[in-house]
Amino acid sequence: AGGLLLCSWDKPLTNDGKKKTLICIEGNIASGKTTCLDYFAKTTSIEVLTEPVAKWRNVHGHNLLGLMYQDSSRWGITLQTYVQLTMLEHHTRPMVSPIRMMERSIHSAKNIFVENLYRSGRMPEVDYLVLTEWFEWIKKNIDVSVDLIVYLQTSPEICYERLKRRCRKEEKIIPMEYLQAIHELYEEWLVKRTLFNISCPVLVIEADHDLQKMTEKYEENRDRILTPYS
């Protein structure tokens, strides 16, 4: 009923009073990350950072998210360069509490979204390589490490239904195949572990359920998520 821990804890289990902990919530578009973050924001005193999507929709008046969905071959690189910057800003922002929970990460931005644009032929190889060099430089020189990934595992069909229901205007044109591709990449990265190296523990939570049941699941998994660090 609970979640599944996929690998051994290879980072210190407890806070020594100095070390701060970063937990990232990952999952497909409309997988329910916001609900998860809301639950922990309301019921704990940890710091919660939601995805900077408002920024992506208004870069000095330009809606990069909208542009990307209208023409991903042209604007994919533009959005993803900016996403990488805003994620880096989140990872490096001084922490105000011993535990921070963050929506997605610089890692999924690159390993899932950039990877998907490249694999689907909508990002030229040279753009992909430049973003990769930036990403590798960042990982080598700046601490963007993560202590725990909580993966909200959904079926793409459920995400598609939720997406239609919530009606974010930029996302109206997202086809089912896009959610399927993002889902496959998440599974390869976090479950099958065939895509990129992952060095932190992953807690998988099935997230196809309704709001009530999901709240119960977060309640059930609360200690597994927070206790090792408190």
**Chain contacts with ligand DCP (rule: CB under 6 A):** 27, 29-34, 51, 53, 65, 68, 79, 83, 104, 109, 113, 171
In this complex, which beta carbon is closest to ligand DCP, that of residue 15 or of residue 155? 155
**Smallest gap from residue 84 Cβ to ligand DCP (A):** 8
Residues tagged active-site: 103
**Smallest gap from residue 109 Cβ to ligand DCP (A):** 4
Per-residue H/E/C for the chain: CCCEECCCCCCCCCCCCCCCEEEEEEECCCCCHHHHHHHHHHHCCCEEECCCHHHHCCECCECHHHHHHHCHHHHHHHHHHHHHHHHHHHHHCCCCCCEEEEECCHHHHHHHHHHHHHHCCCCCHHHHHHHHHHHHHHHHHCCCCCCEEEEEECCHHHHHHHHHHHCCHHHHHCCHHHHHHHHHHHHHHHHCCCCCCCCCCEEEEECCCCHHHHHHHHHHHHHHHHHHHC
In this complex, which beta carbon is closest to ligand DCP, that of residue 83 or of residue 181? 83
Q: Which residue is nearest to ligand DCP (CB)?
A: 34
In this complex, which beta carbon is closest to ligand DCP, that of residue 54 or of residue 129? 54
**Smallest gap from residue 207 Cβ to ligand DCP (A):** 9
